[in-house]
Amino acid sequence: MNSPVPFWVVIPAAGIGQRMQADRPKQYLPLKGKALIEHTLDCFLQHPDLRGLTVCLAENDAWWPQLSCAGDTRIQRCIGGQERADSVLNGLSALLEQGAQAEDWVLVHDAARPNLARSDLDKLLQALADDPVGGLLAVPVRDTLKQVDANGRVTNTPDRSQFWQAYTPQMFRLGALQQALSAALAAGSSITDEASAMEWAGQAPRLVGGRADNIKVTRPEDLDWLAR
């Protein structure tokens, strides 16, 4: 039996899904009878140690109010920002207003990752419960990697064993993450995930090996694969 690890959740969902080329932001595309984001939310809402959850939505989002989960009082909403990191920062502020404390654990998880397994969520929580920094789910790169020049010609084959793909959830102390994200953004650093903000602040997040099927829906074929 796992010991409880209370946690808060931020779901950045303010992107437009440009690479998906669909008629709506990808988090609202249908998958197995409901919207993709509803699958994403379910994994957290079913967890007994969840303290609170906020979704970061685009300012003029007309899709969210149409979902049945829009009426779920456990879900708080906040406005997203220009970049994913801006959306996450707004989400962290919303959680603090909801009563979260700076030392509490917060998990940031992409709205576009609907296939998170409960076993992976529990694995992350248990692996990091006593960690001084926090960390993230990740998967070792499976294919040989190629470095290319501007003409698309291979210049190098780096040692694959050193590379992992960064997945979400990413789990950090709320206050430390807020400080790291704010400082990195203020310095003009390009921040594509929470871990890179923590790295920027001099910390070394821990990787926790996860399932490869916790994919981020990015291109049309990703949704075909999940719907199979």
CB nearer to ligand CTP: give 19 or 160: 19
Binding mask 111-140 for ligand CTP (x = CB under 6 A): xx----------------------------
CB of 68 to ligand CTP, least distance (A): 20
CB nearer to Mg ion: give 15 or 210: 15
Structure tokens at 210: 């996860």
Q: Answer yes or no: are the C-beta atoms of 194 and 177 closer than 8 Å.
A: yes
Pairing of strands 7-13, 50-57: parallel
Q: Answer yes or no: are the C-beta atoms of 108 and 121 closer than 8 Å.
A: no
Q: Answer yes or no: are the C-beta atoms of 109 and 91 closer than 8 Å.
A: no
Residue of 125, 120, 91 lying closest to 7 (CA atoms): 125
- Kindly identify the residues of this chain, within the stretch 87-116, that bind ligand CTP according to CB under 6 A: 87, 110-112
CB of 33 to ligand CTP, least distance (A): 20
CB nearer to ligand CTP: give 87 or 203: 87
Select from Mg ion, ligand CTP, none the partner in contact with residue 190, using the beta carbon and a kind-dependent cut-off of 5 to 8 Å: none
Q: Answer yes or no: are the C-beta atoms of 148 and 158 closer than 8 Å.
A: no
Which residues make up the interface to ligand CTP (CB under 6 A)?
Answer: 12-20, 27, 56, 80-84, 87, 110-112, 216, 218
